[in-house]
Amino acid sequence: MTQREWAEKDYYADLGVSSSASQADIKKAYRQLARDNHPDKHPGDTVAEERFKKVAEAYDVLGDEKKRAEYDELKAMLKSGGLGGFGTGGPGFPGGFQGTHGFEDILRDRGFAGDGGLGDIFGGLFNRGGHSRPSAAPSRGADVETSITLEFREAAKGTTIPIQLSGQAPCTDCHGSGSNSGNPSVCGDCNGTGFISENKGAFGFSAPCTKCGGTGRVITDPCPTCSGKGTAQRTRSITVRIPAGVEDGQKVRLAGQGEAGPNGKPAGDLFVTVTVKPDKVFKRKGDDLEVAVPVSFGELALGGTITVPTLESPVKLKIPVGTPSGRVLRVRGRGISRSSGIKGDLLVKLEVDIPKNMGAAETSALRTYVQSAKDAGYDPRAKWSGLE
């Protein structure tokens, strides 16, 4: 999602919070809405699925303080008619105009916007792209993607796993500054501000300085090891903490663990895609665990207590008298435990196991029971409509 697309989004409304909401309130609202609209709870419901995607997109921006600040700045600028005091219906455009497309047309007529439209303006403002001027140096290091494979129970309970990454890391000789002395010089074009003020017709705005890339500093004595970049190719080992409850195919984001940024700029992010192996005992359904347990006819008919497995230690489960085969019993709080505090349940399906080799005594006893039950009027198909 780019800043150009943010212009038409109202992420606060999507999460049902005010623009002054705290990060904690935003996180709380996201968790509730994500839980209520999760596709696992509404299989086949496209409306809930789209709502879930909108909520996730909104939290991706508002849940990140840096992205939220940029989003708020962009929305405030559009609302107040920024860029030199001209907005939709702003001064200088009697009658106004609607939407970003009209804005782009007027900017283009004035000889200001290039092929990118608003992207030329906002791209310069946020150091991301733009076609009407040379692009500024990257404001951060590149994001990195990798993948890992976990056992089912590792993913359910959470784990830490070491991985090796090869990529750009801070230069060990200049400590990432790019300067041999460790002291970059002040940029003469922008006097260290990182921005150049420009006027074009009625418009006045500041753009990142192209000489220093918006940093306000230039390298006059480049480090011989990294040639002034501040980064060098290196293999490093990091420990990735996988939160409890991660799902197959889910991506875990580790902020600042991507490639190092040039000349001391922030590092990018690391995205770890998780593949979860199937388990021979449990199956997952949302935050619940499903397990099939074999039982005897007598245990279902007479009731009893059996031992069932969980992710931690086995627990006792009481079977009511007269329980039908295939019934599912619920054990509260023994499913997936997420780091957010959400706990699923264990769903135990009882399946009758029929003995294949019975001795003479067991066969005789079973025949006696069958005949006795028949004489008492028991018919397992008495209420079955299959032969009607």
Q: What residue numbers does the annotated binding site cover?
A: 171, 174, 187, 190, 209, 212, 223, 226
**Nearest one of 352, 300, 346, 295 to 321, comparing CA atoms:** 300
Q: What residue type is assigned to position 18 of the chain?
A: S
Q: Name the phi and psi angles at 201, rounded to 5.
A: 65, -125
- Give the separation between CA 142 and CA 129, rounded to whole angstroms: 15
Burial 16-50 (b: 16+ CB within 10 A, else e): ebeeebeeeebbebbbebeeebeeeeeeeeeebee
208 by DSSP, 3-state: which? strand
| Residue 304, beta-bridge partner list | 319
Q: Can you tell me which residue has the tokens 């040379």?
A: 134
Quick check: 232 and 201 in contact, CB under 8 A? no
Q: Rounded CA gap, 358 and 367, in Å?
A: 12
Evaluate whether 18 touches 12 at the Cβ level (below 8 Å): yes
How far apart CA 27 and CA 12 sit, in angstroms, is 12
* Rg of the chain, C-alpha, whole Å: 32
* Residue 246 identity: V
3-state DSSP assignment of residue 286:
coil
286, 158 Cβ separation under 8 angstroms? no
What is the 8-class DSSP label of residue 200? Answer: E
Q: Are 269 and 251 in contact (CB under 8 A)?
A: no
- Binding residue ranges for Zn(2+): 171, 174, 187, 190, 209, 212, 223, 226
Name, in order, each residue with C-beta under 8 angstroms of 325's C-beta and a sequence gap of 6 or more: 300, 350, 351, 352
